[in-house]
Amino acid sequence: MNEFKNEKINETPETAEVVTEVSEPEVQKIDYKKEIFEWVKAIVVALVVAFLLRNYVLTLAKVDGQSMEPTLQHADRLYVNKVAYTPEKGDVVIFEPASDPGRPYIKRVIATEGDTVYIDFATGEVFVNDVLLDEPYISEPTHLVGSYINFLMAMGAYSKEQPIEIEPGYFWAMGDNRNASKDSREIGQIPVSELIGHAVFRFWPLNNMGTVDFDVEQ
End-to-end CA distance of the chain: 119
* 158: in domain: yes
What is the pTM for the complete model shown? Answer: 0.72
Within a domain: 203: yes
User: Could you list the residue range(s) of the whole structural domain that residue 116 is in?
Assistant: 59-208
43-75 pLDDT, tens per residue? Answer: 655 554 444 455 545 688 888 899 999 999 999
What residue ranges in the chain does DSSP mark as E strands?
58-62, 77-81, 92-95, 105-112, 116-120, 125-128, 131-132, 164-165, 170-174, 190-191, 195-204
Annotated active-site residue in 29, 41, 67, 184: 67
Please indicate, yes or no, if residue 201 is contained in any of the structural domains: yes
Lowest mean pLDDT across 44-53, 123-132, 177-186: 44-53
pLDDT over threshold 90, residue 127: yes
In a domain, 139, yes or no: yes
Catalytic, 107? Answer: yes
- The tens digit of pLDDT for each residue in 134-144 reads 999 999 999 99
Active site residue 89: no
Could you say which of 89, 107, 181, 182 is catalytic?
A: 107
Instruction: Decide if 175 contacts 108 (C-beta within 8 A).
Output: yes
Is 14's pLDDT higher than 60? Answer: no
pLDDT, tens only, 144-175: 999 999 999 999 999 999 999 999 999 999 99
How many distinct structural domains can be found in the chain? 1
CATH number at residue 100: 2.10.109.10
